[in-house]
Structure formats: C-alpha cells, structure tokens
Copies of this chain bind each other. A is one copy, B any other.
Amino acid sequence: MIKVAIVDDHKILTEGLQGLIAESGIATVAGVAHSAAACRLSIGFWKPDVVLLDVGLPDGSGIDLCKELKTQVPGMKILALTTHNEYTVVRQMLDNGASGYLIKNAMADEVLAGIQAVAAGETFLCHEIDLLMKRPQEKNIWLSPRERELLRLVTEGLTNAEIAEKIFLSPETIKGYRKNLLLKLGARNTAVLVKMALEQKLI
C-alpha cells in the first residue's frame, strides 16, 4: 500500500482527497498539512512514499518546499497538485525534483493514476499539462536566472538606475537586459512586460 501525505491549505479539498484515496484501496493517507511549516514538522514522522504538494501555500512557495523535501529525503516522490497551468511553474517544479504534476480541475482518476505512477518511479503529467509541455518551444518562455531577477525588479517599479545600483551593474547593462526581455517576451513596453511576468508567473 502506498503511503501518501497531503500538503494543501484548501481544507475542503484535502478532505475530498482523503476520502478519494481511502476509497480507492491503492493508498492510505499518512497525514495532512495545511502549511509548509506544518509539513516540515510532520513529514519525518509520516514517512510517506508520495507527497501531494500544492504550489500556493500560505507561508511559502511549494516550489521551494519541493526542493527542500527532495534534498532531505531523495527517495520520497513529489506529486504537484495545483491550480497553476503555467509552463514556468511546471518546469520549476520538475527541475526541483517533482515526479508529477496535476492540476486541480483534473478528474479524480487522474489523481490515483498519478499517485501510482510516481510511486512506481515513473513521471506523471495530467493530460492538460502534458500538452502544455509538448508545445513548440517558442511558445513556452524560459528565462535565465539573471533575466528573472531583472524582470522581478522591473515589476517592482524600479528604474534602470535604481536596479543598476542595487545589483552593482551599469545602467546601460540594465537597459540591455530590458530590451532583451521586451524582445524575448514580445512585449512592446513595460506595462505588457509586467503583465506577462505576472500572468505567466515568470517571476
């Protein structure tokens, strides 16, 4: 029997999940945490095979928590379960060690299939995410860490001069990055840049 832990702050959802998993007969729920902190405290006791992990936790990013958990217990499989269907989020989760990715409007049977697959050491993406990841590359934007940092500072409303001062670079360099970001994202100005950054969760 597969031991599953659930980390998600939506209490109604976790209750539904618990019922679903218990009834399925393929797994048992070792524990439920409603925050990243609660997860960190309990995960050592639960020793689950699979963690159903939300990305949007109240006290931190599931993306970071995923990396953390995989570092501590490399054998434990992470199955992301979120509302986000943005390429950047999925890719970051997978880069941080997640074995699978489900979106919350997936059917119940996909959840069970996902748990079984990742427990068996496979990679599992729900249908919609699978399609997303297979799209032509040019539609899925991927920024370098430096570009992401710059984009973040731009969305904060800092000017080129302020950014330059903050990260010890020449203002001209910042300008260069900004031009590149506009080109890369196909944005005509800062407003669109910020919009895309937030909508596609590029930061």
- Assembly stoichiometry (copies): 2
Q: Give the residue name and chain of the B residue nearest to A109 (CB).
A: B11
CB distance from A30 to the nearest CB of B (A): 19
- A19 CB–B CB distance under 8 Å: yes
Contacts of A155 in B (CB 8 A): 191, 194-195
- A154 CB–B CB distance under 8 Å: yes
- A17 CB–B CB distance under 8 Å: yes
Contact A157/B20 with A10-B104, A13-B104 known, Cβ cut-off 8 Å: no
- A198 CB–B CB distance under 8 Å: yes
Contacts of A195 in B (CB 8 A): 155-157, 194, 198
Check B83–A187 contact: CB distance below 8 A.
no
CB distance from A79 to the nearest CB of B (A): 13
- A108 CB–B CB distance under 8 Å: yes
The count of chain A contact residues (Cβ–Cβ below 8 Å) is: 36
CB distance from A82 to the nearest CB of B (A): 11
Contacts of A111 in B (CB 8 A): 12
In the assembly, what is the distance between CA of A58 and CA of B15, in Å? 23
**Which of A10, A154, A190, A198 has the most chain B CB within a 10 Å cutoff?**
A10
Q: Give the residue name and chain of the B residue nearest to A15 (CB).
A: B16
A157 in complex: contacting residue of B10, B192, B199, CB < 8 Å? B192
8 other A-B residue contacts (CB within 8 Å) besides A157-B191, A194-B195: A11-B106, A11-B107, A12-B20, A13-B13, A157-B192, A157-B195, A190-B190, A194-B198
